[in-house]
């Protein structure tokens, strides 16, 4: 990677980008599409959520998938098979993206499934080519170099954005040159969604460098940082957990729920330490690194047992939830990782990210996923409780549900009510439509007193997307929310307001200061709703709220927000 950066020039950069197109053609085209669409949105393009989601989600994730597929298939001996595999997988992902774009919004289970899939794609970039025996050193070299390439490309892209935006700002400040504000967003789109990804793909190791068997020699400084800083901190952290475990045994109490987070952090730090110091562990000498790295998985097992007890307590006391089941699976995976490291003496470490990605997909996508299993189990428990009370006709009405909460004992009512509210909050409301009517679960909470239980009904409604449902008035084609503020001087009553909407226009409106003062909330006695509407030949501005400060006779500080309709 450093060798490529040393040869950095316009000619070499163009050559590298050309090689990137040859090696990752689909990914390069998708990043260009993503950048162009973001620029289109920045200039007042589509406000269609489904369309916007597709043209952002598919290029972004498809580019990651394309890199992973290209790295895998370039190992194939038959180029025809490689092309077919890439075409089939990309076509399937295109279909999936179109399907996902059909939703107005995702439920949390859908969001989990999509996130898990993208995470698995991303990990595949680093590990998919290194599944054969004795490829640990190759995997370590490739993954570290690729990760550093990603970091460097992102940093360089960010520096370009900052530098070019500062240059444009200096033109405005020093020379009074007009610069459209949307140019700043365009620069960010070009640098971060086109140039940075292209640079990253151009310096991903290839050929012999992709399967480099050379064991990296750590510098004295790097060894010192690991030996005298990283390892002592990790040991101190684990020792604290051991003291806490001893306290639990002495007092014979159960661990608190927060212990799972502490053990999780310890596990992650242990894996990072073993991964970062992998070359040192298998060099001659370095006894300390070898001894510590091989003892850490053994020392982690009792802490994982402590975590298991904490998870079991939460499940026993409060029942299953999606997060608790994910934590349980993670706990089991940690056991497997530690045992794997113990029996292989910290070899074949590529299996750690690979197994994580595979398990994450299995428990997040499909009917067997944790969200689906949790939903079915919670609904099954609720239905069984209703049937046990003689209710067999579903969905239950509001009155039936409230009557049921008063008839059964308070613990059962509170438990089932809590489970149904969890389903209502975590999944889409349709998930309960076969069990209870929609209005029955608007925060019906069972309040348990000393001698009786009562049902307290609380209703809450909200909508933060009404602006998207508003129709654009006849004669106009675009609508956007405008926030404008300025400190200026006026002569008389009229003020000039100049707006720059996303379509690049400059729109001028005239506003009366007296009209604003008349609408002050303390002076305005009329309780009927009013809008302050400004018009010109090209647009219409509906002011929603404002604040104005007057200093002396001429200095005015004005802030306003509203809807701008343009042709």
Burial of 505 per CB tally in 10 Å (0-12, 13-18, 19+):
middle
Alpha-helical regions (H) of 176-282: 182-190, 196-202, 220-225, 231-251, 259-276, 278-281
Pick the most confident of 167-176, 370-379, 534-543: 370-379
pLDDT band at 116 (very low <50, low <70, confident <90, very high): very high
> Phi, psi at residue 320, to the nearest 5°?
-85, 145
Q: How much is the pLDDT for 448?
A: 44
Closest to 565 in 3D by CA, of 514, 513, 503, 510: 503
Residue for token pair 């070899």: 347
**At what angle are helices 351-364 and 108-127 packed, to 10 degrees?**
160
Q: How much is the pLDDT for 133?
A: 63
Q: What is the mean pLDDT of residues 123-146?
A: 82
Residue 541 in 3-state DSSP?
Answer: strand
Rounded to whole angstroms, the Cα distance separating 481 from 301 reads: 55
Which tokens is 375 given?
A: 């939903």
Question: Cα separations (Å) of 135 from 5, 276, 510?
Answer: 27, 16, 71
Which tokens is 236 given?
A: 């101190």
Q: How much is the pLDDT for 552?
A: 62
Weakest mean pLDDT among 155-159, 369-373, 382-386, 398-402: 398-402
Question: What pLDDT digit, counting tens, does each position of 220-232 carry?
Answer: 777 777 777 888 8
> Phi, psi at residue 253, to the nearest 5°?
-120, 170
Pick the most confident of 81-85, 92-96, 264-268: 92-96
Report angle CA 59, 65, 67 to the nearest 5 degrees: 105
pLDDT band at 426 (very low <50, low <70, confident <90, very high): confident
Q: How much is the pLDDT for 464?
A: 47
Q: How much is the pLDDT for 541?
A: 87
User: In the chain, what percentage of residues exceed pLDDT 90?
Assistant: 28
Residue 557 in 3-state DSSP?
Answer: strand
CB 303 within 8 Å of CB 296: no
Q: How much is the pLDDT for 238?
A: 87
CA pseudo-torsion sign 197, 203, 205, 206: positive
Helices and strands (H and E) in the chain: how many: 21, 8
Closest to 310 in 3D by CA, of 339, 326, 337, 331: 331
pLDDT band at 136 (very low <50, low <70, confident <90, very high): confident
Question: Cα separations (Å) of 358 from 15, 127, 335, 351, 361?
Answer: 37, 12, 16, 10, 5
Q: How much is the pLDDT for 524?
A: 54
Burial 42-52 (b: 16+ CB within 10 A, else e): bebbeeeeeeb
Q: How much is the pLDDT for 220?
A: 73
Q: How much is the pLDDT for 180?
A: 79
Q: What stretch of H or E contains 258?
A: none
> Phi, psi at residue 434, to the nearest 5°?
-85, 0
Q: What is the mean pLDDT of residues 184-195?
A: 91
Residue 382 in 3-state DSSP?
Answer: helix
Q: How much is the pLDDT for 224?
A: 75
CB 314 within 8 Å of CB 257: yes
What number of CA atoms fall less than 13 Å from residue 74's CA on the CB side? 19
User: In the chain, what percentage of residues exceed pLDDT 70?
Assistant: 85
Question: What pLDDT digit, counting tens, does each position of 203-218 carry?
Answer: 888 888 888 887 777 6
Torsion region of 219: left, alpha or beta (phi above 0 gives left; psi -120 to 50 gives alpha): beta
Query: Residue ranges per domain, the chain?
Result: 2-211, 220-365, 371-457, 467-566
Closest to 549 in 3D by CA, of 506, 457, 464, 486: 486
Under 8 Å CB-to-CB from 4, ≥6 apart: which residues? 16, 202, 203
pLDDT band at 403 (very low <50, low <70, confident <90, very high): confident
What number of CA atoms fall less than 13 Å from residue 80's CA on the CB side? 0
Question: Is the pLDDT confidence value at 528 over 80?
Answer: no
Q: How much is the pLDDT for 61?
A: 96
Rounded to whole angstroms, the Cα distance separating 300 from 281 reads: 19
Q: What is the mean pLDDT of residues 75-98?
A: 91
Q: How much is the pLDDT for 128?
A: 77
Q: How much is the pLDDT for 285?
A: 64
Q: What stretch of H or E contains 488?
A: strand 478-489
Closest to 99 in 3D by CA, of 40, 37, 54: 54
Question: Cα separations (Å) of 477 from 105, 177, 288, 503, 544?
Answer: 25, 30, 70, 11, 20
pLDDT band at 462 (very low <50, low <70, confident <90, very high): very low
Weakest mean pLDDT among 110-119, 140-149, 216-225: 216-225
Q: How much is the pLDDT for 418?
A: 82
Question: Is the pLDDT confidence value at 263 over 80?
Answer: yes
Which tokens is 208 given?
A: 């012999």
Q: How much is the pLDDT for 506?
A: 84
Q: How far apart are the first and last CA of the chain?
A: 50
Question: What pLDDT digit, counting tens, does each position of 464-520 carry?
Answer: 455 555 677 777 878 888 888 887 777 777 888 888 887 777 888 888 888 777 777
Q: How much is the pLDDT for 193?
A: 92
Closest to 480 in 3D by CA, of 544, 567, 562, 545: 562
pLDDT band at 455 (very low <50, low <70, confident <90, very high): very low
Residue 482 in 3-state DSSP?
Answer: strand
Which tokens is 308 given?
A: 């298991």
The whole-chain average pLDDT of the chain stands at 82
């Amino acid at each position: 990677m450093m060798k490529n950066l040393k040869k950095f020039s316009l000619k070499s950069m163009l050559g590298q980008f050309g090689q990137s197109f040859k090696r990752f053609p689909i990914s390069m085209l998708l990043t260009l599409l993503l950048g162009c669409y973001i620029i289109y949105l920045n200039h007042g393009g589509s406000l269609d959520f489904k369309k916007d989601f597709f043209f952002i989600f598919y290029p972004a994730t498809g580019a990651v998938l394309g890199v992973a597929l290209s790295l895998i298939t370039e190992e194939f001996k038959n180029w025809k098979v490689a092309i077919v595999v890439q075409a089939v997988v990309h076509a399937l992902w295109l279909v999936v993206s179109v399907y996902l774009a059909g939703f107005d919004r995702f439920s949390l289970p859908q969001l989990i499934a999509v996130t898990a899939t993208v995470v698995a794609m991303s990990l595949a970039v680093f590990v998919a080519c290194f599944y054969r025996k004795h490829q640990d050193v190759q995997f370590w070299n490739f993954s570290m170099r690729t990760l550093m390439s990603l970091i460097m490309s992102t940093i360089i892209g960010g520096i370009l954005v900052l530098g070019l935006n500062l240059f444009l700002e200096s033109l405005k400040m020093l020379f009074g040159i007009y610069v459209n504000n949307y140019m700043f967003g365009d620069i960010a789109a070009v640098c971060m969604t086109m140039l940075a990804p292209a640079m990253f793909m151009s310096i991903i190791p290839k050929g012999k460098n992709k399967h480099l068997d050379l064991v990296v020699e750590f510098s004295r400084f790097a060894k010192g940082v690991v030996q005298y800083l990283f390892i002592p901190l990790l040991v101190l952290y684990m020792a604290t957990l051991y003291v806490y475990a001893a306290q639990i045994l002495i007092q014979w109490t159960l661990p608190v729920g927060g212990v799972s987070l502490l053990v999780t952090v310890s596990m992650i730090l242990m894996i990072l330490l073993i991964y970062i110091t992998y070359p040192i562990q298998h060099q001659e000498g370095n006894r300390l690194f070898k001894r510590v790295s091989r003892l850490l998985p053994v020392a982690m097992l009792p802490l994982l047992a402590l975590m298991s007890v904490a998870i079991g307590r939460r499940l026993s006391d409060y029942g299953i939830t999606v997060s608790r089941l994910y934590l349980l699976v993670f706990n089991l995976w940690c056991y497997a990782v530690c045992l794997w490291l113990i029996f292989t003496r910290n070899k074949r470490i590529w299996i750690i990210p690979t197994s994580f990605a595979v398990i994450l997909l299995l428990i997040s996508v499909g009917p067997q996923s944790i969200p689906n299993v949790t939903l079915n189990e919670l609904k099954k428990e609720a239905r069984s409780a209703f049937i046990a009370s003689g209710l067999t006709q579903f969905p239950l009405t509001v009155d039936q549900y409230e009557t049921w909460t008063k008839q059964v004992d308070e613990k059962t009512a509170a438990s089932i009510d809590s489970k149904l509210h969890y389903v209502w909050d975590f999944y889409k409301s349709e998930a309960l439509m076969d069990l209870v009517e929609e209005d029955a679960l608007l925060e019906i909470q069972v309040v348990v007193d000393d001698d009786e239980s009562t049902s307290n009904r609380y209703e809450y409604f909200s909508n933060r997307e009404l602006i998207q449902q508003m129709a654009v008035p006849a004669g106009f084609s675009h609508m956007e929310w405008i926030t404008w503020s300025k400190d200026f001087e006026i002569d008389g009553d009229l003020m000039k307001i100049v707006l720059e909407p996303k379509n690049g226009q400059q729109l001028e409106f005239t506003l009366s200061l007296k009209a604003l003062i008349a609408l002050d909330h303390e002076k305005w006695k009329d309780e009927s709703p009013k809008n302050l509407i400004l018009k010109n030949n090209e647009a219409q501005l509906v002011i929603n709220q404002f604040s104005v400060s007057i200093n002396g006779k001429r200095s005015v500080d004005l802030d306003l927000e509203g809807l701008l309709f343009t042709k």
